């Protein structure tokens, strides 16, 4: 079986969620490929993407996923004669394909939170808004595939509830990237937020909680626009905020190792990658009580209604109780062990085998 993986969403600077998902799966697939695949090959639209992918794999340069050529990209791909193609997005063009195709739908966030990602070009942002005004465009894309992947049982349930596809849906979860298992630094009242500052992320609730936690500081790891920085600083009312404005992975992991907890007040998620990243390092999580975060964190997390500032303060204070932090840290590590790229890649490869066999 010859498998091509669409790696055109790999960022050339720093991973976002889809970029990390792609790289994690490709790395694990490369380990599984010997004996199960005739070939594992990569589709890229920028040679710099190869810097974030396993060396030694055959790769092919095709047009960008934001190109006007995208609806007909299958004409480029079919010349490579794959048995099956896996894309970490649902928007890969499929007209004219003669190979198996597996698409990925990570979440349905933008149907209720229609502000598109800020890093997209203006024409793409407009198309993004129009695309999410109705369900039928999603159905058209997903039904043109042979199978659909998503990252959580919660999102799989939403796909079914909205009848977005007639194709089988398989859950292939995210996982934390492996990091050195170094000794934990002493806890210093540090809280960590990793994620964007889109409105649905609801970071202002965390900022307001800091006004009631004078012995803690909230480390905001991602790049933040100046106006958002000012708004959060005002919301914190003197509480301690530390803006890293785009921490690299090493800094992020170092701060997590010394943290009391990772926190999130998000109102919607497709999976919640920062949860498993924190739990893998033994850092407890205090997060919003939404279905997908309960799915990922299970009994290892503390859950608070997204707008309940006092609830976040209480949940964080509870970690100061004798033995509570150590208990939650151990539970976090145990829960995170369920999520590995090797297990996810094995699930994906089994699906790709079924799709190829059915053609």
User: Does the pLDDT of residue 335 top 70, yes or no?
Assistant: yes
pLDDT at 254 over 70: yes
Residue 319 makes CB contacts below 8 A (sequence gap 6+) with 260, 261, 284, 286, 325, 328
Whole-number pLDDT of residue 316: 97
Confidence of residue 118 (pLDDT cuts 50, 70, 90): low
* Helix ranges, the chain (H): 17-32, 74-77, 109-112, 122-131, 136-143, 153-161, 203-210, 226-236, 249-257, 273-280, 291-297, 309-318, 324-336, 341-358
Higher pLDDT among residues 80 and 110, named by residue: 80
pLDDT band at 179 (very low <50, low <70, confident <90, very high): confident
**Residue 41: per-residue pLDDT:** 97
Specify the 3-state DSSP secondary structure of 296.
helix
Per-residue pLDDT at 181: 74
Residues 6+ apart with CB under 8 A from 226: none
**Res. 132 pLDDT band, cuts 50 70 90:** confident
CA angle 65–344–259, rounded 5-degree value: 95
Q: What is the residue-averaged pLDDT of the chain?
A: 93
**% of the chain surpassing 70 pLDDT:** 98
Say which residue, 125 or 34, is predicted with more confidence: 34
**Tens-digit pLDDT profile for residues 311-326:** 999 999 999 998 999 9
**Under CATH, to which class is 2-175+340-358 assigned?**
alpha beta
- Topology (CATH) of 190-336: Rossmann fold (3.40.50)
Whether the per-residue pLDDT at 175 is higher than 90: the answer is yes
pLDDT for 187 equals 81
> What tens digit of pLDDT does each residue of 23-67 get?
999 999 999 988 888 899 999 999 999 999 999 999 999 999 989
The span from the CA of 199 to the CA of 332, in Å, is: 28
Which residues, other chains included, contact 130 with Cβ-Cβ below 8 Å and sequence gap of 6+?
none
Read off the pLDDT band of 119 (50, 70, 90): low
Do the domains at 2-175+340-358 and 190-336 have one common CATH topology? Answer: yes
Q: Report the distance separating Cα 112 and Cα 268, nearest Å.
A: 9
Q: Please state, in angstroms and as integers, the Cα–Cα distance from residue 98 to each residue in 89, 195, 203, 334, following that order.
A: 19, 38, 45, 43
Distances in whole angstroms, Cα of residue 284 to Cα of each of 52, 194, 311, 357? 29, 14, 16, 43
Residue with tokens 């159905």: 139
pLDDT for res 133: 79
Q: For residue 115, what pLDDT band results from cuts at 50, 70 and 90?
A: confident
Domain regions of the chain by residue span: 2-175+340-358, 190-336
């Amino acid at each position: 079986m010859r498998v091509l993986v669409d790696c055109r969403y790999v960022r050339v600077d720093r991973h976002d969620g889809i970029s990390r998902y792609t790289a994690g799966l490709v790395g694990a697939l490369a380990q599984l490929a010997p004996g199960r695949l005739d070939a594992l090959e990569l589709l890229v639209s920028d040679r710099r993407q190869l810097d974030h992918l396993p060396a030694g794999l055959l790769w092919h340069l095709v047009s960008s996923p934001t190109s006007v050529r995208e609806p007909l990209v299958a004409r480029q791909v079919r010349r490579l004669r794959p048995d099956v193609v896996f894309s970490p997005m649902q928007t890969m063009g499929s007209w004219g394909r003669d190979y198996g195709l597996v698409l990925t739908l990570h979440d349905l966030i933008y149907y209720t939170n229609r502000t598109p990602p800020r890093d997209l070009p203006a024409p793409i942002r407009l198309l993004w808004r129009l695309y999410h005004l109705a369900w039928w465009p999603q159905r058209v894309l997903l039904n043109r595939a042979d199978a659909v992947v998503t990252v959580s049982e919660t999102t799989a349930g939403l796909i079914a509830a909205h009848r977005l596809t007639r194709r089988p849906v398989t859950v292939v979860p995210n996982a934390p990237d492996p990091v050195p298992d170094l000794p934990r630094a002493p806890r210093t009242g540090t809280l960590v937020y990793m994620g964007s500052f889109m409105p649905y992320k609801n970071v202002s609730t965390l900022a307001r909680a800091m006004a009631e936690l004078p012995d803690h500081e909230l480390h905001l790891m991602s790049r933040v626009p100046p106006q958002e920085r000012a708004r959060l600083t005002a919301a914190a009312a003197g509480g301690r905020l530390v803006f890293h404005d785009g921490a690299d992975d090493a800094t992020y992991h170092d701060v997590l190792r010394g943290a009391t907890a990772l926190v999130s007040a998000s109102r919607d998620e497709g999976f919640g990658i920062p949860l498993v990243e924190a739990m893998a390092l033994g850092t407890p999580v205090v997060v919003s009580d939404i279905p997908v975060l309960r799915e990922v964190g299970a009994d290892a997390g503390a859950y608070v209604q997204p707008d309940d500032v006092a609830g976040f303060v209480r949940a964080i204070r509870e970690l100061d109780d004798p033995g509570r932090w150590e208990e939650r840290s151990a539970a976090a590590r145990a829960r995170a062990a369920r999520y590995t790229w090797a297990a996810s890649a094995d699930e994906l490869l089994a699906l790709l085998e079924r799709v190829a066999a059915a053609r």
